[in-house]
């Protein structure tokens, strides 16, 4: 899952980033209003952690822009401002939760996972499709109740494809979701092809009831077979 931290306190942002990366989230950051605005306009995220007090503008204005873009889902406001008006304004603008600083990182992690389960998987931490089961907390895959080891990127690709089953997923959106900012370092999409190839081989060899089909020149589609 891909998370954007919008936070101007560098030390706090780094603590949150490291914690989330240990939980196998893909994390991007923005430290001011302008860069945050560029990020939310250009990319999609599974969850956004949003501070209200930002250099150059207000986080509430970011929230309004997200609402205009129909991207206000999965936003958790993290702010030192504890007034009822700020909380109500943030929630009215589409935020899903409001966490007041200081907070425990463990609580933040729990709230992120809760929001993601509620919004993306109907509150469940496991997803069943055909004869496979994905455990989103343990990041494991079972086929016919037998575990199949996946590396981190393979799991990220599969979970993203499951969420978008029967839809065409283009190579750019897949790269942005799974690799985030690091995709800019690549000259081509070879890094996607190799991971997809290995994942498709594992699914086929273990008789998975799903298949990731290549749509020539466009991207991929996950279907039940």
Q: DSSP class of residue 66?
A: H
pLDDT at 4: 95
> What pLDDT, on the 0 to 100 scale, is given for residue 83?
63
Cα→Cα distances 178→25, 136, 147, 161, 222, Å: 9, 15, 22, 11, 16
pLDDT at 206: 96
* pLDDT for the residue 137: 77
Q: Domain residue spans in the chain? A: 2-120, 126-224
pLDDT tens string for the chain (225 positions)? Answer: 789 999 999 999 999 999 999 888 889 999 999 999 999 998 889 899 999 889 999 998 999 999 888 876 689 998 877 666 777 787 788 788 888 888 888 889 888 888 877 766 666 778 899 999 998 878 899 999 999 999 988 998 998 899 888 999 988 888 877 777 555 555 567 778 889 999 999 999 999 999 999 998 888 999 999
- Of 3.40.140.10, 3.30.1360.120, 3.40.50.2300, 3.90.79.10, which CATH number belongs to 2-120? 3.40.50.2300
How close are the terminal C-alpha atoms of the chain, in Å? Answer: 26
How large is the angle between the packed helices 59-68 and 33-42, nearest 10 degrees? 20
Residue-level pLDDT at 13: 94
**Which pLDDT does position 29 carry in this prediction?**
95
Q: Which fold has domain 126-224?
A: Arc Repressor Mutant, subunit A (1.10.10)
């Amino acid at each position: 899952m891909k998370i954007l931290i919008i936070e101007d306190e560098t030390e706090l942002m780094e603590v949150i980033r490291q914690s989330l990366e240990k939980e196998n989230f893909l994390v991007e950051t923005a430290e001011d209003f302008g860069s945050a605005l560029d990020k939310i306009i250009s990319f999609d995220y599974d969850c956004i952690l949003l501070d209200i007090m930002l250099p150059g503008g207000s986080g509430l204005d970011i929230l309004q822009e997200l609402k205009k873009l129909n991207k206000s889902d999965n936003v958790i406001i993290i702010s030192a401002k504890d007034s009822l008006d700020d909380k109500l304004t943030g929630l009215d603008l589409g935020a899903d939760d409001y966490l007041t600083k200081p907070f425990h990182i463990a609580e933040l992690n729990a709230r992120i996972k809760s929001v993601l389960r509620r919004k993306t998987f109907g509150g469940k931490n496991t997803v069943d499709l055909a004869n496979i089961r994905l455990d989103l907390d343990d990041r494991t895959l079972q086929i016919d109740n037998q575990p199949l080891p996946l590396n981190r990127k393979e799991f990220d690709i599969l979970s993203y494809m499951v969420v978008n089953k029967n839809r065409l997923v283009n190579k750019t959106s897949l790269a942005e979701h799974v690799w985030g900012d690091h995709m800019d370092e690549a000259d081509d999409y070879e890094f996607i092809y190799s991971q997809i190839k290995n994942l498709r081989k594992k699914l086929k060899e273990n008789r998975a009831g799903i298949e990731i089909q290549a749509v020539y020149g466009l991207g991929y589609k996950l279907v039940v077979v």
